[in-house]
């Protein structure tokens, strides 16, 4: 288990998966900080000895109960969250992947308050962080549609 996720000594490796099913994208409402209560793409921390794609599939299954086809790398991003004094509270390096739903009915795991499929045409009405919206649009192939 990773210790000191708050005020870490170094960045923590993480993964995210943008999952599509027809014209829908799978989102989770985060149960833990950072961004508790926000809709986001499913994902989490990579474990020691686990490849990044193994981590992506495991985190997706744990958070949503969904299995996907082949994972395609979209981007690698930094999530850096300072505290009120400017000290780094969280720092993750996240490898984000795109995939298509194969099986499983979504249900929230221990890291998610809720899991839902959202129509891509209605993403504008959902409160999403800028980086989350940007990654989803990049996965769709419309990176300039922000």
Summarised one tens digit per residue, pLDDT across range 44-100 is 999 999 999 999 999 999 999 999 999 999 999 999 999 999 999 999 999 999 999
**Average pLDDT of span 15-28:** 96
Span 113-130, mean pLDDT? 91
Whole-angstrom distance, CA of residue 134 vs CA of residue 146: 7
- Residue 8 tokens read as 């870490």
Q: How far from chain centre, in Å, is Cα 44?
A: 7
Which architecture does CATH list for 12-140? Alpha-Beta Complex (3.90)
Q: Do 6 and 90 touch, CB atoms closer than 8 A?
A: yes
More confident residue, 117 or 37: 117
123 has pLDDT over 80: yes
**Confidence category of residue 146, pLDDT binned at 50, 70, 90:** very low
pTM: 0.91
Structural tokens at position 113: 């308050």
- The predicted structure's pLDDT at residue 16: 97
Please tell me whether residue 136 adopts helix, strand or coil conformation: helix
3-state secondary structure of 2: coil
């Amino acid at each position: 288990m990773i210790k000191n996720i708050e005020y870490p000594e170094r960045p923590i490796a993480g993964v995210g998966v943008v999952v599509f099913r027809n014209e829908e994208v799978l989102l989770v409402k985060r149960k833990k900080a950072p961004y508790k209560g926000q809709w986001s793409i499913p994902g989490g921390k990579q474990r020691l000895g686990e490849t990044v794609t193994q981590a992506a599939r495991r985190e997706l299954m744990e958070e949503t109960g969904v299995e996907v086809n082949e994972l395609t790398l979209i981007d690698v991003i930094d999530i850096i969250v300072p505290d009120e004094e400017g000290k780094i509270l969280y720092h993750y390096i996240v490898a984000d992947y795109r995939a298509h739903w194969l099986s499983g009915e979504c249900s929230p795991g221990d890291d998610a308050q809720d899991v839902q499929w959202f129509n891509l045409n209605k993403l504008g009405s959902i409160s999403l962080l800028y980086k989350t919206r940007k990654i989803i649009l990049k996965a769709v192939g419309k990176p300039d549609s922000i």
